[in-house]
Amino acid sequence: MASKRSAKKAGSKTTVKSKPKKAAVKKTAVKKKKPKTKKPVKEHYVNAKEFYEQIKRYYETDVIEDGLAEAINKIATGLSYAPNFINYSYKDEMIGDAVLKMFSAIRNKKFDIETKNNPFSYFTTIAFHAFINRIKKEKKHRETITKYQEKYYMDAMNSGEGNVYVDNNNPSDDEDC
């Protein structure tokens, strides 16, 4: 290194040979593949083929099996975890409405098994519309309550009944404490 510095300072054109570079060696490391493990079945998962077979059996026997009832409940509950339905306080009512609508669709044999369409999507759509209808009902109910409250409070304020009641027996209301 010192010879390089002195050569540059002196302005001479001497070159210092550097060590030859080693050729890049390709390393072919064999990556070990992890054995495939089965993913755990999600809590609200419904197999569409099995669901189709259960509906087909119901249409033949008119007996709702436990598996079919469980699948319907899983569809409604699973849909309730969708981002557009997750934060409603009346989620249980939404699920109940969806289950009721899906059972009435099965009882009335609304799903055409001859088309061999996906029954999962059909019943999910029924549940989706039941959720939307419940949201509309709750919104209308909330608006009715709000209108009543506004009317009552305005009438109370205009009639002079809007005086604040002070409980003299409660020491927290006393200013002298």
- List pLDDT tens digits, range 73-86: 999 999 999 999 98
Domains: count for the chain: 1
Residue 93 within a domain? yes
Residue 114 within a domain? yes
SS3 content of the chain, % helix, strand, coil (to 5): 55, 0, 45
* Dist. CA 131–CA 168, nearest whole Å: 49
**Residue closest to 123 by CA, chosen among 46, 57, 176:** 46
- pLDDT at residue number 152: 85
E-assigned strand segments in 3-155? none
Residue 36 within a domain? no
pLDDT top residue among 21 and 64: 64
Residue 12 within a domain? no
What is the model's pTM?
0.63
Residue 11 within a domain? no
- pLDDT at residue number 114: 87
- pLDDT at residue number 177: 47
